[in-house]
Chains A and B, each alone.
Chain A
Amino acid sequence: MTETETHLQAHFADLAKQTHAARFGMWTFLGSEVLFFGSLFALYASYRAEYGDAFSRAVRHTDLLLGSANTAILITASFLVALAVGELRAGSDRRAAALLLAGAALGVAFMALKGIEYAHHFRDGIYPGVHYRYAALPEEGAKIFFTLYYLMTGLHALHVVGGIVLLLALAWMARRGRFTARWHTPAELGGLYWHLVDVVWIFLWPAFYLLH
């Protein structure tokens, strides 16, 4: 069976159109994700405008080192995934699988660092919402800041977990030779998703670690 016959679906005229449609679909999905996170960023912006000082003070109480390390981890992971897609295009499936696995591993590292950060915060009594009891920063603006912190980084972390699972699945598919040099659409789409997760973090990082 030609690869066209394996992958082409009945309602598309040819594989090129089908691949184009798949990419288009992925981009529209990413658009919806931008709005999803965007509403939280809008909330953050509104509250920042209201509680400027408290937010600035609160930013100093997040772990800049861990946060920045996570930024480096995600950027590297994105880079590796991009490389992996390139390798698939060149036909090097095993190298691609290894790179995808490495990306997933970095994702796990990200989650580990996040876990450590959260543990530190809990130890200090920084909990979300009405459960907050951090004596060093009692003002309401700080409570809102940390509630948003947990919400936004937590939601992002859930997306990272999804991304890890996705990368593992793609690595498995690459290892099993499911892709070809001409057709590796799932990997392209998965890569796009992973890049989005990275981009969201690029905005979370200044919001919660840098802007003070």
Chain B
Amino acid sequence: MSTVEVVVPLSRPAGDSYLEVPRGFRSWLVTTDHKRIGVIFLFATSAALVLGGVFALLLRAELLTPGRTIVGPLAYNRFFTLHGVIMVWLFMIPSIPSAFGNFLLPIMLGAKDVAFPRLNRASVYVYAAGAVIVLSGLVLGGADTGWTFYPPYSGRTPTSVAPIALGVFVLGISTIMTAINFIVTTHTLRAEGMGWMRMPLFVWTIYATSIIQLLATPVLGMALLLVALDHAFRLGVFDPTVGGDPILYQHLFWFYSHPAVYIMILPAMGVVSEVVCTFARKNPFSYTAIVVATLGIAFVGFLTWGHHMFVAGMSELDVGIFGALSMFVAIFSAIKVFTWVGTLYRGSISLDAPLLYLYEFLFLFGVGGMSGVALASPSLDVHWHDTYFVVAHFHFVMVGGTITAWLAALHYWFPKMFGRHYPQRVAALGTLLVFMGFLGTFVPQFLLGNAGMPRRYYDYPPEYQALHVLSTMGSWALGGGLLLTAVYLVAALRGGRRAGTNPWGSRSFEWDTPSPPPQHNFTEQPVIARGPYDYAREEG
């Protein structure tokens, strides 16, 4: 066996990285370099996170008192709708795949770019177009239907539904383009020696995510197209006054939106796998289990959408089937959590910021996932459906899960992407603020839901106020933590200590390139002769 494991040039002097070559601002606008595209998406999705976060802070401020606090009910309904739309489609869905997936996938596979770089560039433009259309809807006042756009209300509301729905439709096209690219890249551009079972686990999750995106997003596109047509032209496919069935819309919408949550969590799980192995310097407790669980989530995730509709008027048989299948899909996530904890066993653990975020992820995603299992018990869901319990559940998994993992990814790959370090102690403070702020915001919401507080409520009986005040104060801490993170990371872009090739001592393939990598990733075609988690003691 060759002792030269991955054939790459050693650390290059500054001035030759993808950030500098080719030069000029215009070159960024027309770039087909997957790394640049990843960085563009990183900044775009971060901006979306800020905008969605502003709406969150506003609506939580409104909830400080019953009745009117800062705005009226129509404005409040728009706030949570825009919060949901921006967070889900402008931030969450592209956050890890389009940013980190784009940057890392080819490098992790030993390729020089994705399969279709021009399609990749087009995906940026289409994302921008979709964002512009959604923002134009925002300027026109924004919809007040919730991010779910249920008819008949979405057809009858006087607010601007069509630009938002169509904007999301366009964003979906960008997603599908990315998915096609990643699927084909994984199949056709693996370097010599990289069998499927030697790929980094992050690649597996990006691959599975892309399959879900490919198959689910078109259905969302159709659902939103119908909502927009109904609102603009009174097409009425779901309008009972012309014989339509509003529940069919829910089936169509949730057929996409349940797999969508797996689009949001699988890449995060991929990040977690990478971080735990690097910072515990350890092979995964079971690589196969994680691969099987990843594919299991992707497949079974398509079969569980009805658990959003237990009280919508579905038949009892449907309720039973969807509930049972939901329990199945939960097992895969449980296996992963168990495997990650097991990976820490007999490892060599270093408590850097990415690992701190990993522990947060395990705790918060664990709680969130378990609350999901509870919600899948139909009788419990009857009480909890459309209350703050559900709001708490999905924020635990999406913020406590995905955003925590996104922060872990940022802190893990920052040196590789930008060639700089950020201050470790400030970062640790950031993780603590984010964690405490998150708990302060969302733990009271589990209790609010138990107490019967409905979601999407502008006004509420006064005895719920104390929990709402706690939650709002938590949101300020969470916002503060995220703001702090943004500040030191942006500062580190220019002023951080320069990073070497492999500051974390990882065995994953992207750490064999310089920090930041050169434009074409490798000078010669790499040959892969070991796995990405090869930390074991020398035998004998």
Contacts and interface: CB of A to CB of B under 8 A. Distances in A.
A130 B336 CA distance: 50
B214 interface: yes
Interface string A50-73: 110000000000000000000000
A144 to B, nearest CB: 5
Contacts of A42: 252
Contact of B239 (A31, A36, A130): A130
A143 interface: yes
A31 B252 contact: no
A129 interface: yes
Nearest to A145: B243
B234 interface: yes
Contact of B242 (A20, A129, A151): A129
B113 interface: yes
A42 B189 CA distance: 36
B184 A24 contact: yes
Contacts of A128: 233, 235
A29 B180 contact: yes
B242 A39 contact: no
A148 interface: yes
Contacts of A28: 179-180, 183-184, 214
Contact of B112 (A10, A46, A140): A10
A22 B252 CA distance: 31
Interface in A125-161: 128-132, 139-141, 143-144, 147-148, 151
Given A25-B115, A129-B234, A40 B245 contact: no
Interface stretch (B218-226, B426-434, B478-486): B218-226
Nearest to B249: A43
A140 to B, nearest CB: 3
A21 B234 contact: no
B196 to A, nearest CB: 16
Given A31-B214, A39-B218, A39-B252, A147 B188 contact: no
Classify the secondary structure of B's interface with A.
helix
Contacts of B117: 9, 11
Contacts of A13: 525
B188 A36 contact: no
A33 interface: yes
A147 B242 contact: yes
Interface in A1-57: 9-13, 17, 20-22, 24-25, 28-29, 31-33, 35-36, 38-40, 42-43, 46-47, 50-51
| Residue among B180, B181, B234, B245 with the highest chain A CB neighbour number at 10 A | B180
Interface residues of B, number: 47
Contacts of A129: 230, 233-237, 239, 242
Classify the secondary structure of A's interface with B.
helix
Contacts of B113: 10-11
A129 B223 CA distance: 16
A17 B218 contact: no
A185 B255 CA distance: 34
Given A11-B111, A43-B248, A147-B242, A35 B188 contact: no
B217 A151 contact: no
B187 interface: yes
21 contacts: A11-B114, A11-B117, A11-B520, A21-B116, A21-B189, A22-B116, A24-B183, A25-B115, A25-B180, A25-B184, A32-B179, A32-B214, A36-B221, A43-B237, A43-B252, A46-B251, A47-B245, A47-B248, A130-B242, A140-B243, A151-B237
Interface of A: 9-13, 17, 20-22, 24-25, 28-29, 31-33, 35-36, 38-40, 42-43, 46-47, 50-51, 128-132, 139-141, 143-144, 147-148, 151
Interface of B: 106, 111-117, 119, 176, 179-181, 183-184, 187-189, 214-219, 221-223, 226, 229-230, 233-237, 239, 241-245, 248, 251-252, 255, 520, 525
